[in-house]
Structure 1
Amino acid sequence: MHVIDALRTDFYDVELDGKPASSGDVFAQWNAHDRLGVLIYEPLAALGATHLIQLACMCFYDSKPVRRTERKIYPEMFAIHVGGWWGGHGNFDFWPPRREVQVSADPREVLGALNDFGITRLALPERPLRDITHRRKEEDCALDRLVTAVMYSPTGRVATPDFTIRSNNRRSERDVQRIIHPAQLSEQSIAQMEKTAVPVKETDVDFMPRQLELNANITEAIREQAERNRAALKVDGQISESYRFARLEDSLKRL
């Protein structure tokens, strides 16, 4: 289902340095041209960045409300699978297919994808700094545009976090379950969705085939581990994830 109707900014409680904060403290000065890029290096890893992705979606719509009422478009964000396909994340609205892509594990190719997609807000898993030599001027190109870099953990909790995002509404977990346990929709369900005011991706003829293709390497054991990871994030019955900011220059040495 389109997050345009399913989620709201007030579903999330942000805490920065132990104090109440907001989406503006995570994504400072988000504007209508910002684009989120999420790097994925292992199976279903982006589930650990669920609330960050959803918060970015809300910033996308809040920065230009006409996107909710007239244009009704999907958020400009990209899931970039590195070194293989790590499961379909289309239910997070990485759709149409051009917004969920695969690149080789060569850091230069990863940076090239970030530049090609015009990423301004980067989410990447916790990875060590490395001595990476990128192609000439590619780092400058990225740094000219990047505003925010945030490290996440596939488990949902990073070491020494800078901030947490806690959901206060169970609806934020709906698409998590659809990613862990994708299900074919019945013709009746699709017909019902086609009657909604906002077109939804589930009615696209290539949506489910695409998700099945991306999930080819996702085993039942991986799904069970994903479920355990989510359960471990519960605080008073709601999911709380933690994150750490990265220096923009350093983030390009972690690819």
Structure 2
Amino acid sequence: MHVIDALSTDFYEVELAGAAGTAQDVFAQWNAHDRLGVLIYEPLAALGATHLIQLACMCFYDAKPLRRTERKVYPEMFAIHVGGWWGGHGNFDFWPPRREVQVSNDPQAILGVLNDFGITRLALPERPVRDIVHRRKEEDCALDRLATAVMYSPTGRVAAPDFSIRSNNRRSERDVQRVINPTALSEQSIAQLVQTAVPVKETDADFMPRQLALNAGITEAMREQAVQQRAALKVDGLVTESYRFAELGQVLKRL
């Protein structure tokens, strides 16, 4: 389904420095032209950034409310798989297919994709700063545009976090389960979805084949690990994830 209907900003509670925060504490001054990029280096890793992705989706719609009522577009965000396909994440609304891509595990190539997509808000797994030499001016191009960089963990909890995001609504987990165990809808279900007011990706003929193709390398053991990691984040059935901000001046040395 489309996050326009499925999720709401008030599903998420931000805690920063031990105090209640807001989406603006995570994505300061989000505007209508912001774009989220999520780097994925291992199987189903972006599940650890579920709430960050969903919060960015809400910022996308809140910045320009007519996207919910008139345009009804998918969020401008991109899942970037590094060095292989690490599972289909289309259920998080990384759709159409151009918004979920693969790039070689080469920092220069990764930075090139970030620049090509015009990423302004970056999520990447915890990675150390390294002595990476990028192509001339490519770093300046990215840093001129980047407003936020956040490190996540595939487990959902980073070391020494700067902030956490807690869901207070179980609906936020719906797409997590669909990423872990993608299932094809029946013809009857698709026919019903076609009649809904907001067009949804599940009715696209290439949606499920695309997700199955991206999941070709995902094993049952990987799925089970993802289930266990998600369960470990729950308190009374609700999930809390933690994150750490990455210094913009160093983040491109973490690719």
TM-score category (smaller protein): over 0.9
CA distance in 1, matches of 2:85, 2:192: 31
Contact 2:170 / 2:237 at 8 angstroms: preserved in 1?
no
CA distance in 2, matches of 1:54, 1:224: 23
Structure 1 residue 184: Cα displacement: 1.1
- Residue in structure 1 matched with residue 45 of structure 2 by the alignment: 45
- Matching residue's letter, 2:209: P
Structure 1 residue 237: Cα displacement: 2.3
- Residue in structure 2 matched with residue 175 of structure 1 by the alignment: 175
Q: Once the two structures are superposed, what CA deviation does each residue of 1:81-124 show, in whole Å capped at 9, x if it has no partner? A: 00000000000000000000000000000000000000000000
Contact 2:12 / 2:167 at 8 angstroms: preserved in 1?
yes
Structure 1 residue ranges, 4+ long, deviating more than 4 angstroms after superposition? none
TM-score scaled by length of structure 2: 1.00
Report the secondary structure of 2:71's partner residue: coil
Contact 2:107 / 2:132 at 8 angstroms: preserved in 1?
yes
Q: Once the two structures are superposed, what CA deviation does each residue of 1:39-76 show, in whole Å capped at 9, x if it has no partner? A: 00000000000000000000000000000000000000
CA distance in 2, matches of 1:247, 1:167: 26
- Residue in structure 2 matched with residue 90 of structure 1 by the alignment: 90
Report the secondary structure of 1:70's partner residue: helix
CA distance in 1, matches of 2:187, 2:23: 38
Report the secondary structure of 1:25's partner residue: helix
CA distance in 2, matches of 1:244, 1:75: 23
Q: Once the two structures are superposed, what CA deviation does each residue of 1:218-252 show, in whole Å capped at 9, x if it has no partner? A: 00000000000000001232100000000012110
CA distance in 1, matches of 2:192, 2:54: 25
- Residue in structure 2 matched with residue 143 of structure 1 by the alignment: 143
2:197 aligned with 1:197, yes or no?
yes
- Residue in structure 2 matched with residue 56 of structure 1 by the alignment: 56
CA distance in 1, matches of 2:235, 2:143: 36
Report the secondary structure of 2:94's partner residue: coil
Report matched runs for 1:1-255 at 5 Å. Answer: 1-255=1-255
Report the secondary structure of 2:33's partner residue: coil
- Matching residue's letter, 1:202: E
Structure 1 residue runs of 5 or longer lacking an equivalent are none
- Matching residue's letter, 1:63: A
CA distance in 2, matches of 1:249, 1:177: 36
CA distance in 1, matches of 2:249, 2:107: 14
TM-score scaled by length of structure 1: 1.00
CA distance in 2, matches of 1:127, 1:246: 10
Q: Percent identity?
A: 83
May I ask how many residue pairs the two structures share in their alignment? 255
Q: Once the two structures are superposed, what CA deviation does each residue of 1:152-184 show, in whole Å capped at 9, x if it has no partner? A: 000000000000000000000000000000001
